[in-house]
Structure 1
Amino acid sequence: MKIEVLHFGKDAGLEQNGGYLEIKDANSNQHLFFIKIYDIKYNPKKEDDVQDMFIIEMGVRDGVVRIKEEHGRVYAINLTERSAEMVYSPYESEKKIIKQNRKSQV
């Protein structure tokens, strides 16, 4: 499996630019699927391109794919379930949600 950041999702027929990973076959480079990491809520009164939010880092730590987006949030990606979970946020309101989610998983 090959994992790539897809910056311009709208060009691929998706609903937003930023927030997607594209999974490809490692040998053939054929597209397998997309994983949406986070939602972008577009304000119709502003231009879309100033609201796009892109992935700026991607890596693997302890066997888990992690990405960081422009606002500093970090997500852990589950490739098997094709899902993502926010594991860090610089915003206090979201830190509380992350803490609550961790408690409910124990």
Structure 2
Amino acid sequence: MKPVRALLAAVLLAAGTVAGAGGEMPAGKRVAPPAVAPLTLHGVRYEAPPDTRDFGDDQAGGYLVARDARSGRELWRQRIYATAYDPKLESDVQDVFIASLRAGRGGRTLEITDERGRRYTLHLGSRAVQEQGVQNRR
């Protein structure tokens, strides 16, 4: 039985999940949010900032910011989706960030995908958001 325990301990150690001296497991931490390149259309630069709580928003991720491409002045900010946080869990492991941003329909919409594979369309004229569903993720 000792060789099996030694092998299991080696696997857990390699994975970084062996409990500390007090027997507790280290807290799970998420990886950094994906870097999403800004997109410029018709003189407006659209950005998906990694943490909009810095600007007073109630969640990290899920927002787009529109800026004048020349001056950098913020024109508007739009929440694309809401993240429901469980107060019993660490918030950073519950954050859901925008993973991709691209132009759609002749530059009249933006197509957004979040880390969970959910797809959204933002209609630039009205700033209405439509959820499109989940794309297959491998």
Q: Which TM-score applies when normalising by structure 1?
A: 0.80
Whether the 8 Å CA contact 1:37–1:84 is kept in 2: the answer is: yes
Whether the 8 Å CA contact 1:20–1:34 is kept in 2: the answer is: yes
Which structure has the larger Rg? 2
RMSD: 1.5
Q: Which residue of 1 aligns with 2:95?
A: 52
Alpha-carbon distance between aligned partners in 1 of 2:105 and 2:125, rounded to the nearest angstrom: 16
Letter in 1 for 2:49: L
Cα deviations across residues 9-59 of structure 1 (Å, max 9, x unaligned)? 111110100100000011101011101000000000001100000001110
Structure 1 consecutive aligned stretches of length 4 or more whose deviation exceeds 3 Å: none
Q: Which runs of 5+ in 1 are unaligned?
A: 92-106
**Of Structure 1 and Structure 2, which has the larger fraction of its residues in strand?**
1
Letter in 2 for 1:46: L
Q: Which runs of 5+ in 2 are unaligned?
A: 1-43
Percent pairwise identity: 35
Offset at 1:90?
5.0
- Paired residues in the alignment total 91
Query: Which of 37, 56, 64 does residue 21 from structure 1 map onto?
Result: 64
